[in-house]
A = this chain, B = another copy of it.
Amino acid sequence: MKLHNFNSGPSILPQPVLTQAAEAIINYNNTGLSLLEIGHRTNWFQEILQEAKDGVKKLMDLDDQYEVLFLHGGATTQFMQVPMNLLDTNATAAYCDNGIWGNKAWKEAKHFGNVQVVADSSDRHYQYINKEFTVPADAAYLHITSNNTVEGTQWHSYPTTHIPLIADMSSDIFSRPTDFKKCDLIYAGAQKNMGAAGVNLVVVKKSILGKIARSIPTIMNYQKHIEAGSLMNTPPVFAVYVSMLTLRWVIEQGGLTEMGKRNLAKSTLLYNTIDALPIFNAPVAKEYRSEMNAVFFLNDAALEEPFLALCKQEGMIGVKGYRTVGGVRVSMYNALPIESVQIFCDLMHSFAQKHG
């Protein structure tokens, strides 16, 4: 049976990336060695790392004011690393609390300094993103989560601030052209649009670093990583390689313009289907809807289980809603073909016909 992978992350990757990654484990680039067995200070790995960094800068269209780092860990690591590097003990950071990950992010920041939650949409289960909010002029930075994987909301344009803007882009990075230049620090766990779990992308404007008094452990210090060229310690070699291959694939396919076109087509198809079929409902208003993760419910809760069972039977992987939210969640990352969304929509139609 053909499977359709709607996993929220780790999630679907392009087939050529998987093929090349598997080959590299047996014999990397005809070296006679596995990629897992080569040193990270060889030219072989340096070239991989450089291509990955160049790919990020090219796709984001950023100049040398920014540095690209590939670090161990995932976004959860950045929840602590950002304030450790940028928030003095007596200073205050501003956070938008628009989903469970953003909520976790500000709670970690409290280990390092003061936090002011300037926007909070938990009053309506995080089903929207606050539009109006005030950021204190003396805040160390403003932190947002660009796409809320669990709740299915997305910032469609970033706020303009006079203080550094930090964005957790884990679940929508490289999914469309967006205003990366508005951000001073962007981070993302790789395991959605960029590769395999086990590596973190951090893109940082150098001018925001080195401004606090805290003594920062070396392995957490962005400046030290910049000085070491992302090679302070043994990096997660394989995960960096998969990221490089995925970035190469995005560029070859036509870059972010093409990704944005495809993702808009997929999400439009799915949301139109939800909205057209009265047995389903998407709780997020159109202006906040995520192109990456669509969350919806069956109006008759008793139909949820049979619907999910049918999805499973038909090879639709990963469509059960997050454990705290329930319902259905369909993730449509870059590598997901529109055919999978079409087949899923056909299934919704036939289910609605039977149960509507």
Contacts and interface: CB of A to CB of B under 8 A. Distances in A.
A153 interface: no
Nearest to A107: B218
Interface string A99-118: 00000100110010000000
Interface in A206-258: 215-220, 232-239, 242
Interface string A1-33: 101010111111100001101110110000011
Given A3-B33, A21-B36, 9 more contacts: A10-B234, A22-B22, A25-B25, A36-B197, A72-B77, A77-B233, A108-B217, A191-B237, A239-B239
Interface string A160-184: 0000000000000000000000000
Contacts of A18: 25-26, 34, 36-37
A80 B198 contact: no
Contacts of A1: 32
A38 interface: yes
A45 B22 CA distance: 19
Nearest to A218: B108
A189 interface: yes
A52 interface: no
A159 interface: no
A34 B10 CA distance: 10
A224 to B, nearest CB: 11
Nearest to A233: B76
A331 to B, nearest CB: 11
Interface of A: 1, 3, 5, 7-13, 18-19, 21-23, 25-26, 32-34, 36-40, 72-77, 79-80, 84, 104, 107-108, 111, 189, 191, 195-199, 215-220, 232-239, 242, 317-318
Interface centre among A3, A39, A111 (most CB of B within 10 A): A39
Nearest to A190: B234
Interface centre among A10, A189, A191, A235 (most CB of B within 10 A): A10
A33 B317 contact: yes
B79 A219 contact: yes
A223 to B, nearest CB: 15
A191 B38 CA distance: 10
Nearest to A216: B111
18 contacts: A7-B38, A10-B40, A13-B37, A21-B25, A21-B36, A25-B25, A36-B196, A40-B197, A74-B233, A76-B219, A76-B233, A79-B217, A111-B217, A191-B234, A197-B235, A197-B236, A236-B239, A239-B239
A189 B76 contact: no
A111 to B, nearest CB: 5
B239 A238 contact: yes
A25 B242 CA distance: 11
Given A26-B19, A236-B197, A318 B74 contact: no
Contact of A111 (B33, B79, B215): B215
Contacts of A84: 217
Nearest to A3: B32
